[in-house]
Chain A
């Protein structure tokens, strides 16, 4: 997991605000860059993912920005809602397996 560093560890955002979570990685062989969302007592679920030949991908309120040269990618949640309150993990893939970051606990206040 030291290959992947997420920040911040926790984040509090007001409803309607923008949530931004960052992920830095070391392994240049990673070939797929997803973000997973996990609610308490549940397994992680894919939220959005990007391939390294694309710099940005948007799906509804969720956007991934990818900077290959800096070895970083970020998740932006626009118009954050209380239902978005969860733990978010970046989990780049290398060697066929996902390597998870430490997680960011997001709390969206109404």
Chain B
């Protein structure tokens, strides 16, 4: 597809369940980012990959959160033993370049809305 694709778009989980959120970046994009956006707030950084290497995971709120990008393309964000405070929209973004020169533009998907009951 032409843009960043995320699935599922909506997920309802019972407290304590594990969830997995998928991100298909734009083909050829080197960098992939995960952000968490609570209702009415700005996106908060979770983690960042350059190809398959996870270069920064400083934003992951706890060890219940885990992200991977094993082949440098599709990425999965996994949340174990979900809690109510995990309810948010999880946004994935990809970028053609790393930091750098011409542009650091991130292309965002529409997000996966997680509701934990």
Residues from 50 to 78 in A contacting B, C-beta threshold 8 Å: none
With CB as the reference atom, state the residue of chain B lying closest to A45: B108
In the bound assembly, the distance between CA atoms of A103 and B45 in angstroms comes to 15
B interface size (C-beta, 8 A): 26
Is the Cβ of A98 less than 8 Å from the Cβ of B44?
A: no
> Contact flags (1/0) for A14-53 with B, using CB distance below 8 Å?
0000000000000000011010000001111110010000
15 further A-B pairs in the complex, CB-CB below 8 A; given A31-B99, A93-B104: A1-B41, A34-B104, A43-B110, A44-B43, A44-B91, A44-B106, A44-B108, A49-B104, A96-B99, A97-B48, A98-B45, A98-B106, A100-B44, A102-B41, A103-B42
B residues at A contact (CB < 8 Å): 4, 31, 33, 35, 40-45, 48, 55-56, 91, 93, 98-99, 103-111
